[in-house]
Amino acid sequence: MRAFVAIFPPPEVRESLLQAARNLSAQGNIRWSRPGNVHLTLKFLGEVPEEDLDGVRDVLARVCARHEPFGAETSGFGAFPSARKARVVWASIGEGHDRLRSLAEDLERSLEDIGFAREGRAYTPHVTLGRVRGHPARLELPESSAQGLKFPVREVELVRSVLGESGAAYSTLAAYPLSESGDQGS
């Protein structure tokens, strides 16, 4: 099954982010995410055989026990690879950025120990909001549009992704609370 590890902001934050993103000045065909699909990916796992899921679950439980809950806040919009040739539209994270990077690095290291390849680039916390169909889009990205949306990070989810004609459908396989007595990845 196709799977990833993610954090889902509360519904009101997802809705607000999407609304602000839809108001961006854009030239191109952007398919906006459904509110229920808006998340921060910590680690994309790809195709995971059923027999490997127990190992992933064990790693997630151990990693989450080492990290305490924290607050995060959006800080602006961005696009991959650039605003002039956008393929993906996202919201960046300001407050909580370092804690998310620490959590993602701990996951990366721990999942590598059970056979998952390390990501080739540094982790950049972001919330994906839309993907461009066809030719890249051209966006104007005002800095203030996605600022100030605060949300708590209290758990990490193992998510199944099923691709379909209308996009991906996600279902949570398990949720792992961050520990009130975690050592923040040390």
* Domain locations in the chain as residue ranges: 2-177
Q: Is 126 a catalytic residue?
A: yes
Q: Is 39 a catalytic residue?
A: yes
* 73-128: pLDDT as tens digits: 999 899 999 999 999 999 999 999 999 999 999 999 999 999 999 998 899 999 99
DSSP per position, 115-166: TPPPPSS----EEEEEEEEEEEEEEE--TTTTEEEEEEE-EEEEEEEEEETT
Question: CA–CA separation, 56 vs 45, rounded Å?
Answer: 10
175 and 160 in contact (C-beta within 8 Å)?
no
* 69-79: pLDDT as tens digits: 999 999 989 99
pLDDT > 70? residue 184:
no
| The CATH number of the domain covering residues in 2-177 | 3.90.1140.10
Q: What is residue 143's predicted lDDT score, i.e. its pLDDT?
A: 64
Question: CA–CA separation, 73 vs 11, rounded Å?
Answer: 14
Mean pLDDT for 45-65 is: 96
pLDDT > 60? residue 182:
no
Q: What is residue 146's predicted lDDT score, i.e. its pLDDT?
A: 60
Please report, as a single letter, which amino acid is at residue 80: F
Q: Which of 39, 67, 97, 135 is catalytic?
A: 39
pTM (two decimals): 0.89
